[in-house]
């Protein structure tokens, strides 16, 4: 099972539905826009260092993951199974170590809520030690690739300490939040995954950076299919075979700073491009609208989301996409809505959402629980007191979505 990237006939959002209308009395609008722009610049300025460091860290981790995923796919050619966990494990740990290293360079006393911890490596006997030695190699190789002569040669003790920086309790104060490989299954299957990093202060998300190494640049949606090979759609494969340069075609990094808007950059450090502003869908047209949700039935009720979508009049089938790439899809209006309704009792972790949420919010969207309440980032490693599920959409559509959720909920309770 895998997915294919399809050309979306509708143009991309920022340009698609977000283009400003011409006004006969444009001066006040221009003045307001200019004021908004300078507010955004000031907001970004306050966290400029954090944004730069987070982007650099995510970029390094993204190349690391791309290399490991490519290795995994090559291995897959020979292997019968697509569920080999060992390489993804290397990527999880190594990406967390790389990102911690980069943050620690700037802020030696930083705290982090990260998904991984090194216990299985240090307490895992010979197997653990062998895995650790592979991780150390991978980390040092990535550092050399990006930092050249300035790259340190980290020891295994240093790498373990860097991984364990993710063991923070969170809560009030300033914390980084990291999912080094979100969408593990997508990663293993040669499909979508994300490197998701955020920074929060006293429960307020301030910075979010999300590497999406397999996400197409723009104007395309992610659809479920079986013809996806080596992370490329058949269309891209034929372009490559024809010797065409793909340029900035695949692989993007989303960035957001509170009050400063959301942007998209190429993942590939060799491609120089200005950050591209992204915006959520501005108008809701049920016939053209799309919603996205987790791929796995076990992670979210697909029956319930289908009912909510039906209440909204959405006609097309869901986009089932692994990882926080779903938030990226809403942020740049590939999709109008993201919904996740896990089984009762499942506790959502903050690293599965933090980066994606600030990116959607800064792109003009709203993310809440199913009761309409904002997510509580200051409650520790989990999203405590979450009402049923999580929804992300444009601010304009949010209330209608809440009404649709209530309607589906009442009928499902009958
Ligand atoms: N039972 C259950 N219910 C809900 N959510 C769960 C569940 N189990 C795991 N997880 C978390 O889901 C993260 C992956 O989410 P996705 O949206 O990518 O899911 S899916 O693979 O597309 O179905 C995944 O993140 P990663 O582990 O980083 O991949 C998990 O933290
Ligand atoms: Mg995750
Ligand atoms: Mg993960
Ligand atoms: Mg996991």
In this structure, the answer to whether residues 313 and 404 fall within a common structural domain is: yes
Selection from 217, 269, 279, 223 nearest residue 246 by Cα: 217
Q: For ligand 1, atom 3, which residue shows the shortest CA distance?
A: 299
Q: Are residues 52 and 101 in the same domain?
A: yes
Residues 384, 252 share a domain: no
Task: Answer whether residue 348 is part of any domain.
Answer: yes
Q: Whose CA is nearest to atom 18 of ligand 1?
A: 323
* 31 assigned to some structural domain: no
Q: What pLDDT is recorded for position 367?
A: 98
Nearest Cα to 69, choosing from 181, 190, 182, 185? 190
Ligand number nearest CA of 183 is: 1
The tens place of each residue's pLDDT in the chain, 414 residues long, gives 333 332 222 222 232 333 333 333 445 545 555 666 666 667 778 999 999 999 999 999 999 999 999 888 887 666 555 445 688 889 999 999 999 999 999 999 999 999 999 999 999 899 899 999 999 999 999 999 999 999 999 999 999 999 999 999 999 999 999 999 999 999 998 889 999 999 999 999 999 999 999 998 755 545 545 555 555 667 767 776 777 766 677 899 999 999 999 999 999 888 888 999 999 999 999 999 999 999 999 999 999 999 999 999 999 999 999 999 999 999 999 999 999 999 999 999 999 999 999 999 999 999 999 999 999 999 999 999 999 999 999 999 999 999 999 999 999 875
The model's pTM is 0.88
Mutate to test the pocket of ligand 1, among 299, 345, 350 (most ligand atoms within 8 A of CB): 299
Ligand 1 pocket by Cβ (under 6 Å): 115, 179, 182-185, 294-296, 298-299, 322-323, 342, 346, 349, 352
Give the residue, by CA position, lying nearest to ligand 1 atom 4.
299
Q: How many domains does the chain have?
A: 2
Residue 193 CA: nearest ligand 1 atom is: 18
- Dist. CA 32 → ligand 3 center (Å): 41
CA 89 to centroid of ligand 4, rounded, Å: 10
Q: Is residue 40 part of a domain?
A: no
Say how many Å lie between the CA of residue 161 and the centre of ligand 1: 26
Q: Is residue 59 part of a domain?
A: yes
Known binding-site positions: 115, 179, 182, 352
Q: For position 329, which CATH number holds?
A: 3.40.190.80
* Residue 16 CA, distance from chain mean position: 22
Binding-site residues for Mg(2+), in ranges, read 115, 179, 182, 352
Alpha-helix residue ranges (DSSP H) falling in 257-353: 302-312, 325-331
* Domain-located, residue 284: no
Which of the residues 55, 184, 368, 393 is marked catalytic? 184
Q: Are residues 104 and 252 in the same domain?
A: yes
Identify the domain boundary among 254, 277, 300: 277
Pocket test for ligand 1, best of 61, 65, 191, 294 (most atoms within 8 A of CB): 294
Q: Which helix (H) or strand (E) holds 45?
A: helix 26-46
Residues 368 and 295 placed together within one structural domain of the fold:
yes
Angle at 300 (CA atoms; ends 298, 304), nearest 5 degrees: 125
Query: Does residue 27 form part of some domain?
Result: no
**154: which 2 tokens?**
């980290």
Is the ipTM beyond the 0.90 threshold?
yes
Report the b/e string of 104-134 with b at 16+ CB within 10 A.
Answer: beeeeebbbbbbbbbeebbeeeeeeeebbee
| Whether residue 114 is found in the same domain as residue 155 | yes
Residues 138, 55 share a domain:
yes
Tell me whether residue 184 is one of the annotated catalytic residues: yes
Please tell me the distance between residue 182's alpha carbon and the centre of ligand 4 in angstroms: 7
For residues 248 and 349, membership in a common domain is answered with no
Best of 293, 320, 323, 324 to mutate for ligand 1, by most ligand atoms within 8 A of CB? 323
Residue at 130 is within a domain: yes
Which of ligand 1's atoms lies nearest the C-alpha of 320? 22
Pairing assessment for the beta strands 204-216 and 220-225 based on DSSP bridges: unpaired
Which of the following is catalytic: 55, 56, 63, 92? 92
Residue nearest to atom 6 of ligand 1 (CA): 299
Tell me if 385 is assigned to some domain: yes
Cα of 149 vs centre of ligand 1, distance in Å, is 38
Q: How far is the CA of 193 from the centre of ligand 3 (A)?
A: 9
Q: Which domain holds residue 60?
A: 45-277
Same domain, yes or no, for 309 and 229? no
**Between vectors from CA 207 to CA 205 and to CA 211, what angle results, nearest 5°?**
120
| Among 6, 2, 72, 3, residue whose Cα is nearest residue 236 | 6
Kindly tell me the number of DSSP H helices and DSSP E strands found in the chain.
Answer: 13, 14
Tokens of 198: 């955020």
The ligand whose atoms approach the alpha carbon of 193 most closely is 1
């Amino acid at each position: 099972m895998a997915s294919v990237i399809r050309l979306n006939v509708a143009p991309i959002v920022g340009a698609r539905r977000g283009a400003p209308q011409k006004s006969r009395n444009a001066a006040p609008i221009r003045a307001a826009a200019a004021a908004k722009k300078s507010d955004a610049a000031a907001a970004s300025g306050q966290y400029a260092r954090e944004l730069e460091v987070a982007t650099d860290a995510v970029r390094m981790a993204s190349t690391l993951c791309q290399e490991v995923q490519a290795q995994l796919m090559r291995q897959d050619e020979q292997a019968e199974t697509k569920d080999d966990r060992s390489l993804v494990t290397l990527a999880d740990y190594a990406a967390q170590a790389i990102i911690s290293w980069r943050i620690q360079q700037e802020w030696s006393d930083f705290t982090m809520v990260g998904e991984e911890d090194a216990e299985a490596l240090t307490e895992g006997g010979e197997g653990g030690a062998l895995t650790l030695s592979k991780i150390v190699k991978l980390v040092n190789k990535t550092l050399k690739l990006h930092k050249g002569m300035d790259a340190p040669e980290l020891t295994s003790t240093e790498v373990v300490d860097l991984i364990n920086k993710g063991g923070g309790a969170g809560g009030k104060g300033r914390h980084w939040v990291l999912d080094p490989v979100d969408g593990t299954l997508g990663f293993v299957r040669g499909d979508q995954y994300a490197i998701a990093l955020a920074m929060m202060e006293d429960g307020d998300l301030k910075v979010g950076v999300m590497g999406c190494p397999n996400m197409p640049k723009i104007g395309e949606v992610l659809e479920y299919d079986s013809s996806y090979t080596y992370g490329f759609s058949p269309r891209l494969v034929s372009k490559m075979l024809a010797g065409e340069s793909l340029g900035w075609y695949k692989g993007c990094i989303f960035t957001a700073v509170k009050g400063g808007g959301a942007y998209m950059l190429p993942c590939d450090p060799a491609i120089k491009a200005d950050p591209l502003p992204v915006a959520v869908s501005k108008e809701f047209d049920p016939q053209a609208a799309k919603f996205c949700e987790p791929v796995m039935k076990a992670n979210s009720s697909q029956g319930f989301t289908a009912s909510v979508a039906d209440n909204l009049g959405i006609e097309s089938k869901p986009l089932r996409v692994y990882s926080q790439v779903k938030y990226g899809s809403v942020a740049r209006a590939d999709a109008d809505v993201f919904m996740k309704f896990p089984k009762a009792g499942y506790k959502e972790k903050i690293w599965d959402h933090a980066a994606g949420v600030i990116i959607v919010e800064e792109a003009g969207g709203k993310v809440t629980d199913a009761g309409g309440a904002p997510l509580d980032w200051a409650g520790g490693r989990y999203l405590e007191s979450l009402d049923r599920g999580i929804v992300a959409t444009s601010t304009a559509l949010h209330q209608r979505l809440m009404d649709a959720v209530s309607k589906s909920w009442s009928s499902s309770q009958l």
